[in-house]
């Protein structure tokens, strides 16, 4: 991946949540605000200042830069805690835990970058959910790491083909700021009518 432009780690969350969301943002340069994105911006304003803090035997690095030549990724972690010299990434999220793996995939990608950068094992990290003020620990299992690799491949495929994937048109759309630009239900209906028409012609 050395000859390819590095992917922002945040794009992996978009693809994992909805491939069409990633394509609209990167290919169509479409981004609309809603209450959820505004909450997200306010959340990250609190952790976007680069600083180092020590609490007992834990060193806390905020807005920690990340990259991986092997994976072709670039980005930053909201927080990386060093506990006995072991990196522990923490990602801040304004929303609650989703039934999808998008948040966990983004966090695991951060851990994989840290492993390459620091040449240390990073077995787990945490999502800090602002609303509940609770951490949810995420173990970077082999299964989750494979999902990260799959999403990296899928993101590059979407961006290289420059084709908008079909909308998911399910509960994920309810909280998406791109809903008006995406028009998931309208497009799904059009695709369905086209498939029926094509089937009738065969």
Tens digits of per-residue pLDDT, 86-99?
999 999 987 666 66
Instruction: Name the packing angle between helices 9-17 and 19-26 (round to 10°).
Output: 130
What's the pTM value of the predicted model, to 2 decimals?
0.76
Please report the domains of the chain, with CATH numbers, ordered by start residue.
Answer: 7-164 (3.90.320.10)
Q: Please say if the pLDDT value at position 35 is more than 60.
A: no
Tokens 């990633």 belong to residue: 22
Distance CA 150, CA 102 (A): 12
- Give the pLDDT band of residue 187 (cuts 50, 70, 90): very low
183 token code pair = 């028009």
Give the angle subtended at the CA of 107 by the CAs of 102 and 111, to the nearest 5°. 145
126 token code pair = 């945490």
Q: Please say if the pLDDT value at position 27 is more than 80.
A: no
Residue 101 has φ and ψ, to the nearest 5°, of -90, 10
């Amino acid at each position: 991946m050395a000859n390819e432009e590095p992917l922002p780690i945040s794009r992996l969350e978009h693809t994992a949540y909805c491939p069409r969301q990633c394509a609209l943002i990167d290919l169509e340069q479409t981004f609309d605000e809603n209450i959820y994105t505004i909450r997200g911006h306010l959340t990250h304003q609190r952790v976007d200042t680069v600083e180092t803090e020590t609490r007992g035997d834990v060193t806390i690095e905020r807005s920690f830069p990340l990259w991986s030549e092997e994976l072709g990724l670039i980005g930053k972690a909201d927080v990386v805690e060093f506990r006995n010299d072991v990196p522990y990434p923490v990602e801040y999220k304004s929303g609650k835990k989703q039934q999808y793996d998008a948040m966990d995939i983004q966090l695991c990608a951060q851990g994989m970058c840290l492993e390459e950068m620091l040449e240390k094992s990073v077995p787990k990290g945490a999502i800090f959910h602002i609303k509940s003020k609770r951490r949810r620990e995420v173990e970077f299992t082999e299964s989750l790491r494979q999902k990260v690799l799959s999403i990296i491949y899928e993101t590059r495929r979407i961006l290289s083909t420059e084709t908008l994937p079909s909308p998911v048109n399910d509960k994920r759309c309810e909280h998406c700021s791109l809903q008006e630009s995406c028009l998931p239900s309208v497009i799904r209906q059009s695709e369905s009518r086209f498939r029926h028409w094509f089937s009738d012609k065969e």
